[in-house]
Amino acid sequence: MKAKVIVIPDGKVCDYIDGKFRNDTPEEYVRQTIEKRLINEHKYDRKQISVEHTIQIGSGKKRADLVIFPDTEIEKTQENIKIIIECKSEKIEANNAKDGVSQLKSYMSACPNAEWGMWTNSKEKFVFRKYIDEFGSTQFMDYNDIPSADGNLDDINRPKRTKLKNATDDNLLFTFKTCHNHIYVNEGLQKQPAFFELLKVIFCKIEDERNIPKPLEFYATSEERSNTDGQLTVKNRIDKIFERVKKDKKNAKIFEPNDSIKLHHRTLSYIVSELQKYSLLNTRIDIKGKAYEEIVGANLRGDRGEFFTPRNVMNMVVEMINPTIDEKVLDSSCGSRVIIMTTANSSDRIRLSSPLLNNQINNWCAV
């Protein structure tokens, strides 16, 4: 049977949930990224998710970007909505009176069983859990993330090794950008220093994953994020991991013995909570490489003249060379090692060689 070919019109994208063609806009890119995360990471069924779902608010009607229902069989009414997600372009700020976080909260308030909500513009992400206080008023508590399909809240606060998720598509890039922007906005650092502070935290994440069989210590619970004492507890945990990072001989040329993570404990708690659910060791190298290239490129290529070869060019080069089993491949301008990895994927028996990589990139890609 022939595979069905779908031709996507210019200026359109095929929605990942319902297959409809939608305008290819910056806001739509954010929504499609979140949709892929819901399916591939949170393991929701497509039948649980409704796109541009109508919500009655007073005498008017609004359309929520994404809503999630408890199961696939339940009637998709406003009363049964469990999670509401609003996706915006980078230009929309969270405090925007019309399209910001307040819009999401108004949608949640209008849906009696919508316990969870998320607002994101790809630079920032806010997650809320709705509850009724002792006076009968609706309140919203900040949370690390929305629950996955299994509803286990423990994994949101302190994931176990067996529950770490492999990043897919652009989701790791999405997370890195959110973390980097959070540092840039809240710490008063220029983009390059902000990037190197993020790099320290990434090294801590990798070190913690390697520290088998001890329990993971790279985490920040929602409760810890919400108060100063909890944030300081998180900082103390991460500082201990960073001391192990610095003692590793492989990192001797990257970090000085007196280096420290120069982030406010509130900022560090946020960054940790965003990264903690992923396995950086097990996520495919090409996804890590793409995320790394985008973040490095955005911060270093302008003033240092560093550029990364486009992926389609890499594939073309390897196809043109067409290396055989007994040949060696030398990438004389090896950066994030993607050409080498592309070549390796073409034959698992090709012998590879590369020059000594920049220590930061070498350690990042080696995981």
Tokens of 338: 């993607």
- List the pLDDT tens digit at each of the 367 positions of the chain: 666 777 888 999 999 999 999 999 999 999 999 999 999 999 999 999 999 999 999 999 999 999 999 999 999 999 999 999 999 999 999 999 999 999 999 999 999 999 999 999 988 999 999 999 999 999 999 999 999 999 888 889 999 999 898 887 778 888 888 898 899 889 988 878 888 899 999 999 999 999 999 999 999 999 999 999 999 999 999 999 999 999 998 888 889 999 999 999 999 999 999 999 999 888 876 666 666 666 666 555 555 555 556 666 777 777 787 877 777 777 766 655 556 666 665 544 444 444 333 444 445 444 4
Residue 58, classed as helix, strand or coil, is coil
| 189-195, Cβ contacts within 8 angstroms, sequence gap of 24 or more | 191/298, 191/299, 192/299, 192/300, 194/299, 195/295, 195/296, 195/299, 195/300
Question: Cβ(264)–Cβ(187) under 8 Å?
Answer: yes
* Amino acid at the residue 349: R
Classified by CATH at the fold level, domain 12-151 comes out as tt1808, chain A (3.90.1570)
